[in-house]
Amino acid sequence: MDVEADVTVIGSGPAGLTAALHAHESGAKNVLLLEREEELGGILKQCIHNGFGLEQFKKDYTGPEYAERLIEDLGKTNVQYFLNTMVLSLSPDKAITAVSPEKGLFHIKSRSVVLAMGCRERPRSSINIPGTRPAGVYTAGVAQRFVNIDGYLPGKQIVILGSGDIGLIMARRLTLEGAQVKGVYEIMDYPGGLKRNIVQCLNDFDIPLYLSHTVTEIQGRERVKGVVVSKVDQKMNPIGGSEQFIPCDTLLLSVGLIPENELSKEAGIELTPITKGPVTTETMETRVPGIFSCGNVSTVFDLVDYVAETGMIAARNAARFAGGDWKKGKNPVEIIPGENVRMLFPQRYSFKDDLILFVRCAKPIEKPVKIELSPLEMRLKRLYARPNEMIRLKVSRDKLKDVTGPIEVSITER
C-alpha cells in the first residue's frame, strides 16, 4: 500500500498535533499525522498536572485537557491520522516507510515532512551511578506513566535524583498517593526545574531539596534498599567523607531529556551536539530541503507553549514548501553562541520569516541583563537570566534583512 500526502507530521504530541492543525490551516490540502501509540497526544496524556497552555490559550489546562482541545480541533479538519503506526525509516528525498497492524508495511510519499518525535529521558546508564542493579530504579517519566495511567505505585519510600520539572512534579504526585518522598538531590548548585514547581511541589509538602548533592551508590540485591548520597564540590566531584546512607525502596531519576533523532540521522539530517537536535533555520527547515523539525526533537523546551509555537512555524513553512511557494533566496547566515550563552535555537537565519530565537544562558545572573545580537544594533532587556529558564526573543524580518555575516548572541549584565 502506498500513501501520498502534501505534509506528513511524525509524532502527535503537542508539537505534532499543533503542526498538523496548522499545516491544514496554512492551506495544505492533504495532511497526514503518524502516531506510534494507540491514541493521539503523546506524553500529554500522562502529564495530569495543570500549567499547560498559559500563553497559547490563556488557560490553565492539565496535559490531558490540552491534548483533548487540540484533538477536538483536529477532528473538525480533514487531517488524516494513522495510529499504532511506527515510522521505520525516512530518506533524504522524504520517502517514509512505516508499519502498522492494519496496513502492514507501507510507504508514504510526501511533499514535505515535519519531525515531531519529541524526546526521551536519560536513563541510569547515562550518568553511571555505581552499585548493584536491583529493581526499583525508574526514570521519573516512567514512574509518572505507572501512577497516572496504569495505576501502580512504584514504591513507598522514594529518593529523587535530579530536580528537573518531571522529578518535582512526581515528588508531589507520589506524596499525594501516599508514598514518602525523602528528598530531591540535585548535583548543580541551582535547581533544574521552574521555581513555581519548587514551591508547589516540594515546599507545599515539606519535601527537602538538597543542592550540590548526588547519589554515589545504589544498594540492594533484589530491590533497592537504599542509596548513598554525597555532597559535590564546584567541579561536581563527590566530596569524600560527606557520604550519607538514605534507606528507600525506590530511586527516581530526573536527570535530563535527549531529543529523539534516530530517524533524522537516517535521513542524513545534520544534528548539533549543543541541542542534540537538527540544525534548523527560523522556518524550522533542517539541512535537508523540505524536512522541518519542531518541539522537543529540535531542542528540549521548558514550556509546552514554546513547543507548540515551533510546531506552528514548522507547519506554516512545510505547507508553503508543499505548495511550491519556496524560493531558494539568500544564503542563510549562522547564529552563534557568544558570551554566557549555553544553547540557542534555531542555529541559522534564512531571511524567509521573523526570527523567533530561544536561548539559554550558561551562568545565572540574578540582575537585569541585556541580550545582544551582534552585529545588529539591538539590545533586548530582561530582568534576570537563569540556565533553567529558556529566553524567547522575537526579531522581525525587517531588522535582519541587511545582515551578511554570522549573528552572535550574548547575555550579559546591564
Distance CA 321, CA 5 (A): 13
- How many Cα atoms occupy the beta-carbon half-sphere of 260 within 13 Å? 13
97 is a contact residue toward other proteins (CB under 8 A):
no
Please report how close the Cβ of residue 13 comes to other proteins at its closest, in angstroms: 15
Cα 195 to chain center, whole Å?
18
DSSP codes of every residue in 207-271 = --EETTEEEEEEE-SSB--EEEEEEB-TTSPBPTT--EEEE-SEEEE---EEE--HHHHHTT--E
Shortest reach from residue 162's CB to other proteins, in Å:
19
104 lies in the site for other proteins, by CB under 8 A: no
Residue among 177 and 262 whose Cβ is closer to other proteins:
177
Binder of other proteins out of 148, 163, 299, 350 (CB under 8 A): 148
- Annotate 284-342 with three-state secondary structure: CECCCCCEEECHHHCCCCCCHHHHHHHHHHHHHHHHHHHCCCCCCCCCCEEEEECCCEE
* Element of type H or E holding 348: strand 348-349
Residue 81 binding other proteins, by CB under 8 A: yes
Which CB atom, from 72 or from 377, has the smaller least distance to other proteins? 72
Which residues, 343 to 372, sit near other proteins by CB under 8 A? none
142 binds other proteins per the rule CB under 8 A: no
Q: What gap in Å lies between CA 28 and CA 24, rounded to an integer? A: 5
Torsion sign (Cα): 376, 377, 382, 385: positive
Shortest distance in whole angstroms from residue 291 CB to other proteins: 26
Query: Which one of residues 25, 36, 65, 106 is an interface residue with other proteins (CB under 8 A)?
Result: 65
Distance CA 394, CA 365 (A): 21
Whole-angstrom Cα distance, residue 21 to residue 27? 10
Asked if 37 and 31 count as a contact pair (C-beta separation under 8 A), the reply is no
Give the separation between CA 375 and CA 8, rounded to whole angstroms: 37
| Least gap, CB of 192 to other proteins (angstroms) | 14
Q: Comparing C-alpha atoms, which of 219, 44, 212 is closest to residue 141?
A: 44
In whole angstroms, the minimum distance from the beta carbon of 393 to other proteins comes to 16
Q: Which stretch binds other proteins (CB under 8 A): 41-49, 134-142, 219-227, 264-272?
A: 41-49
| Cell numbers representing residue 62 in the block | 492539565
Number of Cβ atoms within 10 Å of the Cβ of 71: 17
- Considering only residues 22, 45, 182, 320, which one is a binding residue for other proteins as defined by CB under 8 A? 45
- Interface residue with other proteins, options 2, 38, 222, 398 (CB under 8 A): 38
Within 255-294, which residues bind other proteins (CB under 8 A)? none
User: Of 62, 219, 374, 410, which lies in the binding site for other proteins, with binding defined by CB under 8 A?
Assistant: 62
Using the rule CB under 8 A, is 302 a contact of other proteins? yes
Binding mask 186-225 for other proteins (x = CB under 8 A): --------xxx-xxx--xx---------------------
Among 67, 170, 229, 257, contact with other proteins (rule: CB under 8 A): 67
Beta carbon nearer to other proteins, 206 or 377: 206
Q: Tell me the number of residues near other proteins by CB under 8 A.
A: 40
Using the minimum distance from each CB to other proteins, give the nearer residue, 239 or 383: 383
Cβ 333 to other proteins shortest distance, Å: 31
| Residue 303 within binding range of other proteins, rule CB under 8 A | yes
Nearer of residues 83 and 274 to other proteins, judged by Cβ: 83
Residue count (the chain): 414
Burial class (CB in 10 A: 0-12, 13-18, 19+), 163: buried
Binding status of residue 329 toward other proteins by CB under 8 A = no
Nearer to other proteins, 39 or 93 (CB): 39
Nearest distance from C-beta of residue 384 to other proteins, angstroms: 8
Q: What are phi and psi of 38, to 5 degrees?
A: -85, 0
Distance CA 374, CA 380 (A): 12
Q: Which residues here bind other proteins, judged by CB under 8 A?
A: 38-39, 45, 48-50, 54, 60, 62-65, 67-68, 81, 83-84, 100-102, 147-151, 173, 176-177, 194-196, 198-200, 203-204, 302-303, 383, 389
